[in-house]
Amino acid sequence: MKGNIYLTGFMGSGKSTVGRALAKALCRPFVDMDERLERLWGRSISEVFASEGEGAFRESERRLLRQLVKKERLVVATGGGLPAEPSNRECMRRSGTIVFLQADLQTCRERMDDAERAQRPVWRDEAAVEELYRMRLPAYRDCHLAVSVDGKGVSEVVQEILTRLFHEVRISWPHPQGACPVLSTLEAPAALKALVGERRAVLLTDTRVAELVLPRYRPELVEVDLLTIPPGEGSKSLRCAKRIYQQLFNRRIEREDLLIALGGGMVTDLGAFVASTYKRGIPFVLVSTTLLGCVDASVGGKAALNLGKAKNMIGAFTLPEGVVLDVQALGSLPRSRLRDGIVEAYKMGLVVSPPLSRFVEEELRSLLEGDLPLLKQLVEWGVEAKVKVVSRDFREKGLRRILNFGHTLGHAIETWKGFRISHGSAVAWGMMAAVRISEERGLLPRQEARRILSTLQGLAGRPIRLPSVGEAWELMAHDKKSRSGRIVFVLLEGRGRPVVVDDVSREELKSALTGGEGWGASWGVT
C-alpha cells in the first residue's frame, strides 16, 4: 500500500491526534495540513481568514494538497473544509485512501476547549456551526472508510482503522495430518483467543516479550498460565527444556491441554520441541512476534534445540494447530531485528519467488524503516513461498533443502561467533559466499550477482571478522545438513533456480571469501 492515508472530518473530530498515533503505528510520516499552512502563512488560520479571506486560504490549501499527492505513504490530517471541494476529494481518492472520522457535533464540541473555539469564529454562532456541519457531512461521507469516534479513545480508533484497512490474511498450510492455518493479522490477541477456545492453556514466552508484547494479550487470555524464560539462544537448550517439562508436570498439564509459544524464533522453536515431546505430544499454537519468526521460524514444522555450540542439533518435525503472525508487534522492532527477517524473506525470494526478491530490493529502505503495510506484505509473500516448498517436502528429504541457501556457512559463522551475531546477519554473509561461488562457476550472470550482492551487503550490517576457511570448514562438516561427510551448499543458477551441490572445494570457498573487488578487506576474513 503505497498511497497516502487522508483523515477527514469536522473540527474537533480528532484528525490531528489520531493521525499522529496512526502514523506512529504504521511507521510512516505524518502531515497536519492546518499546521503546515500556518507555518507557510506565518500566522493562524483565523488570522488568514480575517486578513486575506477564505478564498485565499482555500487556494493555498489546494496547492498544498497537490504537493502531498505526489508523495507516497503519508498519513495526512486534512483541514475540516478541504473535502467540501469535489476536486480535492477526487485528488485524495486517486492518490490514496480517505478515512472519515465520524463524530457527532456534541463530540466535536466537547473535544475543543474554549481557546480552540475562540480561534474559530464560526463556533460563536451555534446555528452557523450546526448548518456548516450539516452541509459538510455528504462530502465527508464520500470516502473509502468511515470510522465512528464517538465515545472512543485514540488507541481504539487507531486499532479499528488498522484492522479495517489491513485485513487478516489466512494462508493454508496443507499437510497429511491436516491443514494448519497461518494467520497474518493486526489483531493477534483475538485470533489467538479463537484458537484456544475453552481449553486449558499455558503460555511460554521470554521475559523481554512478556514485558513488551504480552500486555496486549492479557485481556484475551485472563485464565492462561504463564511460563517465562530468559531471552537469547542460551535458553534453546536441553537444560531449559527440562525446566519447562517440570513446570508443566507440576501444573498437571494433560495431553488435551494446549501450549502457546509466543515470541521470536527461539521461543517458537523451543515451545514446539517441548510440546511435541511432553507426554509424547500435546497440542500447541505458535505466535510469532518478530519478522524473522514470521517469515521463517514459525512456519515449516521444525522444532529444535541447540547442543552446546551446535545450532538446532536436537529436534523434530511437528505440526502446530495454528500459527498466528502478529504483524502489529513488528512495528516496535529495532532496525537490526527487521534486517534479520528481511534477510530470510530475501532468501525465500531468491530460491522460490523472484517477485518477492525484487520487492525486497525495491522497497528495502522503507522495509528497514519499519513501514507496517509493507512488512505485512513481505510476511505474507514470504510465508506463501515457504509453504509452497514445505508442503511438498515436510521432512526435508529433497526439495526443502533449497531453503538452506546461505545457511551452510551462515550457521558456521553464527556458531564461531558464539551466537553473538544475529542469525540474519550470519546468513547474509553465507548467502554472499554462495552467490560468489555461483558467479565463479558461471551459473549466475555477473550483472545479476552484482545486484544481489549489493542488496545483501546492505542487509548484512557492518563488516565483521569471519572464521578462517579451515575453521569454517570444520564447523560445516558437523552441520546436520552435511551428507556422508560431504558439505552441502545451495547455489543459484538464477532467481528461483537454486541448485544443491556437495562438491564445493575449500579453494572455492576461500576465493569467495577473499577474492574479487576487495571482498577480503570488507569481510575482515582471516
User: Where along the chain do its domains lie?
Assistant: 4-165, 169-386, 405-523
pLDDT tens per residue, range 57-72: 999 999 999 999 999 9
pTM: predicted TM-score of the whole model, two decimal places: 0.90
Strands (E), 127-230: 145-148, 169-173, 180-185, 201-206, 225-229
Distance CA 476, CA 469 (A): 10
Please state, rounded to an integer, the average pLDDT across all residues of the chain.
Answer: 91
Distance CA 449, CA 446 (A): 5
Helix (H) or strand (E) holding 3: none
Encode 218-249: b = buried (16+ Cβ within 10 Å), e = exposed. eebbeebbebbbebebebbbeebbeebeeebe
> 4-165 with 169-386: one CATH topology?
yes
Is pLDDT above 70 for 310? Answer: yes
Rg (the chain; Cα; Å): 27
Q: How confident is the model at residue 483 (pLDDT cuts 50, 70, 90)?
A: low
Fold of 169-386: Rossmann fold (3.40.50)
Distance CA 364, CA 374 (A): 10
Mean of pLDDT values over 250-271: 96
CB-count burial class (<10 Å; 0-12, 13-18, 19+) for 308:
exposed
Contact 408, 479 (CB under 8 A): yes
pLDDT tens per residue, range 217-252: 999 998 899 999 999 989 999 999 999 999 999 999
Distance CA 342, CA 367 (A): 8
| Best CA proximity match to 446, nearest among 460, 458, 435, 430 | 435
pLDDT tens per residue, range 132-160: 999 999 999 999 999 999 999 999 999 99
Encode 453-465: b = buried (16+ Cβ within 10 Å), e = exposed. bebbeebbbeebe
Q: Which residues contact 90 (CB under 8 A, 6 or more apart)?
A: none
Q: 429: which 3 cell numbers?
A: 554473509
Q: What does the pLDDT read at residue 121?
A: 62
4-165 architecture in CATH? 3-Layer(aba) Sandwich (3.40)
Q: How confident is the model at residue 484 (pLDDT cuts 50, 70, 90)?
A: low
Strands (E), 301-424: 302-307, 310-317, 322-326
Mean of pLDDT values over 264-281: 96
Q: Give the single-character DSSP code of 295.
A: I
Is pLDDT above 80 for 428? Answer: yes
Most confident option among 61-65, 107-111, 504-508: 61-65
Mean of pLDDT values over 364-384: 95
Pure H helices in 278-353: 291-292, 335-351
Q: What does the pLDDT read at residue 514?
A: 79
Encode 410-439: b = buried (16+ Cβ within 10 Å), e = exposed. bbbbbbbbebebbbbbbbbbbbbbbbbbbb
Is pLDDT above 70 for 300? Answer: yes
Which amino acid would we find at residue 414? E
405-523 architecture in CATH? Up-down Bundle (1.20)
pLDDT tens per residue, range 87-108: 999 999 999 999 999 999 999 9
Contact 286, 244 (CB under 8 A): no
